[in-house]
Amino acid sequence: MNNELTDLQKQIIAHLQGDLPMSKEPYKEISDKLGISQERLFDEISFMKQQGLLRRIGAILKHRHAGFNANAMVAWKVPDHLVNEVGKTFACFKEASHVYLRPTYPEWPYNLYTMIHGYSKEECEEIVRQMSKKTNLTEYQLLYSTKEYKKSSMTYF
């Protein structure tokens, strides 16, 4: 396997590492700028993924621009034997953008975390109540964001 990127692959990564064009067909816009077909663009992306040169393409929601003015990190105390089941349940809530496991500490027993986005603090709290009711978990802490410092992707080229 050759791990060196071609010039075209570098150009593709350069277009993918920033914000995608705000259009109905962002990949068509990128392929047009590169002077290749959209099919060729997708083939190159697939090839880079198969070769381990590209891990994933992910979106970053700028939630405040989308109208979500409240968000809360919820730290849940979940028994170890229920973590997978509860994590899958939490992931089904459309308002939860992240669900992940962290280690616990004697002074902080919370191990499962969810990031909840809503239009208001009250909406976030209602969503958390629904999550609590669905999983029968009552030990949790809501941590509200007060300021956003960074929301950007890595830049390679």
pTM of the prediction? Answer: 0.64
Residues 41 and 101 in one domain: no
Beta bridge partners of 140: 76
Q: Can you give the pLDDT of all 157 residues of the chain as single tens digits?
A: 566 899 999 999 999 987 888 889 999 999 999 999 999 999 999 999 999 888 888 766 666 666 677 889 999 999 999 999 999 999 999 999 899 999 999 999 999 999 998 889 999 999 999 999 999 999 999 998 777 776 666 677 7
Give yes or no: residues 91 and 45 share one domain. no
Q: Are residues 36 and 79 in the same domain?
A: no
Those residues whose C-beta lies under 8 Å from the C-beta of residue 130, and which sit 6 or more positions away, are: 93
User: How many structural domains comprise the chain?
Assistant: 2
Residue-by-residue DSSP string for 77-120: ---GGGHHHHHHHHHT-TTEEEEEE---BTTB---EEEEEEESS
Domain assignment of residue 17, yes or no? yes
Owning domain of residue 23:
7-50
Distance CA 118, CA 70 (A): 5
Long-range contacts of range 19-25, CB-CB < 8 Å, 24 or more positions apart? 20/59
Tokens, residue 59: 């979106």
Cβ atoms within 10 Å, residue 88: 10
